[in-house]
Amino acid sequence: MIAKVTRLICWLTPPALVCSAAVFAQDKPPNYPMRPIRILIGSTPGAGGDMIARVTAKLLSDRWGQNVVVDPRPGGGGVIASGMLAKSTPDGYTLLQSGDGLLLQSATKRIPFEVLKAFDPVVSSTQQPYILMVNFSVPAKSVKELIALSASKPLPFAGSTGVGGTVYLGMVKLEKLSGLKLKHVTYKGSAPALLALVAGEVIVGVSASLSATTVIRGGKVRGVASLGLKRTSSLPELPTIGEQGFPGFQVTNRYNLWAPAGTPRPIIAAINRVVTESMNAPQMVQRLAADGSEPAERATPEQLRAELTGNYAEFVRQVKELGLKF
């Protein structure tokens, strides 16, 4: 945990956040923000989502001279945090950062509202692959060896977002595709799941590269595969799962900011501009790459909504195809 705190401090130091005046030469809405902005997250402090949320908060705070605070509300695979946003006033002062699992919450009916009706997408900040890891007590060093090891008994597994999240969906797909047998164990977020993996409470784990890179580099766990379509910049020696016999398979994550539906469009557009330009600043791109992440593709709020609408339809199809019940 100390290593994670140290990394977080490094992330928030000025060199990572320096942007020229020209980058921020855009008008912001009049009379906004006049008080602190809150960013809800469904993960625990120290997790990858927490790190990116705090960087985003610092960028907005530095740009507008107003406090932006991160409010962790872990539990339920993000359901607690999204439920809080659904009850918030659409004035731009309460936002939610969530990965793709927010759409899955709606697709699996784990929340009593439709995400794309209740919320307005604001901006995508970063994207990164998930990493498949094992405790050092496990002799398997490849995906195929892990599959063979699980043949006699399902392996205790923890995913960063718990049952019902995108990692859970991805690993269920991998089980059906490969014959891998896992016993899913739920934790409140990637930080406690990683601690459980290091301690041997579970022996297989999946976490976003932002969190996984530290424990793998620190010799706490063994990396087995990157679940992205290409090798991650932070762990270039780690082969992808596609290279290990499962081409096209991937489990990746992108962090998006959301606002309650009806939030004024000028506010949404202003946040989109600041976050997009800041995340694409050269020094920030380098800092992200060090942890296997990268800026998300540039998109206006309208373009983002169109893309997420398609992603939601795909989640609905996959949940039905796999026969998942939550």
pLDDT digits (tens, 9 = 90+) for 201-239: 999 999 989 889 999 999 999 999 999 999 999 999 999
Alpha-carbon gap, residue 254 to 97, rounded angstroms: 10
pLDDT higher than threshold 50 for residue 284: yes
CA 118 → CA 105, 132, 165, 217, 263, distances in Å? Answer: 13, 33, 19, 40, 11
pLDDT of residue 145: 97
Averaged over 173-190, what is the pLDDT?
89
pLDDT of residue 25: 38
The CATH superfamily holding the domain 129-226 is Periplasmic binding protein-like II (3.40.190.10)
pLDDT of residue 188: 73
Q: Hey, where are the domains in the chain?
A: 2-128+253-322, 129-226
Half-sphere exposure of 285 (CA within 13 A, CB side): 8
DSSP state of 176: H
Alpha-carbon gap, residue 283 to 118, rounded angstroms: 35
Share above pLDDT 90 across residues of the chain, in percent, rounded to a whole number: 70
Domain pair 2-128+253-322 / 129-226, same fold:
yes
pLDDT of residue 161: 60
pLDDT of residue 2: 37
Contact 56, 97 (CB under 8 A): yes
pLDDT higher than threshold 50 for residue 260: yes
Averaged over 270-291, what is the pLDDT?
95
Max CA distance (Å), the chain: 64
- Average pLDDT value over all residues in the chain: 89
Averaged over 140-162, what is the pLDDT?
91
Q: Residue 146 corresponds to which amino acid?
A: L
Omega of the bond prior to 33 within 30 degrees of 0, cis?
yes
Report which of residues 27 and 188 the model is more confident about. Answer: 188
Q: Is 324 left (phi over 0), alpha (psi -120 to 50) or beta?
A: beta
Band the pLDDT of 20: cuts 50, 70, 90.
very low
The CATH superfamily holding the domain 2-128+253-322 is Bordetella uptake gene, domain 1 (3.40.190.150)
Band the pLDDT of 160: cuts 50, 70, 90.
low
